[in-house]
């Protein structure tokens, strides 16, 4: 098991799915974890479970589309645990799925605010702390949609493409200063998002059999692996779990 003892992690969108699984895995590996999400009750429960298992965890309600919320979460993390070593920018939306001509402008913009601006807000709030420490790792949860065009997903594809550009820009600006910024493209994961995708009936992803989706725990394993020394080779890129090689590297064979 990768040893993260002494490290401190902040996970956005930690109330369920990949975020919750990542928070548990980071704690299992020894990291202290601050869980953030809009669902305060859910992250409070999960933080309590982690503490009951002997880990260190706290929770803070946070809407990543609001910079002041993200900045306050980073401040609390440093106040509570003394530092910030790992940021997992996981919070993301895909609803409502619709073609461009039928999309609601406010709903479309909300997805962009979370999936794109939320990543920027995380980077902007965490980077000064990490730079002052001389080290830090940011894992941005990405998607194959970042480099694809899928019907009904204009908001999701474009926001994930923008987030990938932020990964690349952050690596170019701070990669030589002890900061690792890397994306994780996990493929299709068995989360609530897949339920919404299935219900939409739009594009081939909605037609996939549920059996092909990987468990959220696999994505969490990849998040932790990207925080290990092995993950350094993928800085500034999206590491993919869709390939057999990617899964082998993480140990998911």
Residue 156 annotated in active site: yes
- Residues 240, 216: Cα–Cα separation, whole Å: 14
Provide the pLDDT confidence category of residue 9 given band limits of 50, 70 and 90: very high
Provide the pLDDT confidence category of residue 141 given band limits of 50, 70 and 90: very high
pLDDT tens-digit profile of 46-68?
999 999 999 999 999 999 999 99
**Parallel, antiparallel or unpaired: strands 86-89 and 8-11:** parallel
Residue corresponding to tokens 């820009």: 169
- Which has the minimum average pLDDT: 121-135, 159-173, 197-211? 197-211
DSSP 60-101: EE--TTSHHHHHHHHHHHHHHHS---EEEE-----PSP--GG
Say if residue 190's pLDDT is above 80.
no
Per-residue confidence (pLDDT) for residue 194, from 0 to 100: 80
Can you give the pTM of this predicted structure? 0.93
Catalytic residue among 116, 156, 174, 234: 156
Provide the pLDDT confidence category of residue 207 given band limits of 50, 70 and 90: confident
Per-residue confidence (pLDDT) for residue 58, from 0 to 100: 98
Say if residue 210's pLDDT is above 80.
no
Provide the pLDDT confidence category of residue 213 given band limits of 50, 70 and 90: confident
Q: What domains are defined for the chain?
A: 8-247 (3.40.50.720)
Per-residue confidence (pLDDT) for residue 85, from 0 to 100: 98
Say if residue 233's pLDDT is above 80.
yes
Q: Compute the average pLDDT of residues 175-204.
A: 87
Per-residue confidence (pLDDT) for residue 76, from 0 to 100: 98
Residue 141: burial class (beta carbons within 10 Å; 0-12, 13-18, 19+)? buried
Residue 55 tokens read as: 């880990």
Residue corresponding to tokens 């990964």: 167
Q: Compute the average pLDDT of residues 166-186.
A: 97
């Amino acid at each position: 098991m990768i040893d993260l003892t002494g490290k401190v992690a902040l996970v956005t969108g930690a109330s369920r799915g990949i975020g919750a699984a990542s928070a548990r895995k980071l704690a299992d590996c020894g990291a202290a974890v601050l869980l953030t999400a809009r669902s305060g009750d859910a992250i409070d429960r999960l933080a309590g479970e982690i503490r009951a298992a002997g880990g260190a965890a706290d929770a803070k309600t946070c809407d990543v589309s609001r910079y002041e919320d993200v900045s306050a979460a980073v401040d609390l993390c440093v106040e509570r645990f003394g530092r910030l070593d790992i940021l997992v920018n996981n919070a993301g939306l895909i609803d409502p799925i619709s073609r461009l001509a039928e999309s609601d402008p406010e709903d479309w913009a909300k997805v962009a605010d979370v999936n794109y601006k939320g990543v920027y807000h995380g980077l902007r709030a965490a980077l000064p702390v990490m730079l002052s420490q001389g080290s830090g790792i940011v894992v941005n949860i990405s998607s194959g949609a970042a480099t694809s065009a899928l019907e009904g997903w204009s908001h999701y594809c474009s926001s994930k493409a923008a987030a990938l550009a932020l990964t690349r820009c952050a690596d170019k600006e701070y990669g030589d200063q002890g900061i690792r910024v890397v994306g994780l493209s996990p493929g299709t994961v068995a989360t609530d998002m897949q339920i919404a995708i299935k219900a939409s009936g739009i594009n081939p992803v909605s037609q996939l059999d549920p059996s092909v989706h990987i468990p959220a725990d696999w994505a969490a394993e990849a998040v932790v692996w990207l925080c290990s020394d092995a993950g350094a080779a993928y800085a500034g890129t999206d590491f993919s779990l869709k390939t057999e090689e990617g899964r082998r590297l993480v140990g998911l064979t």
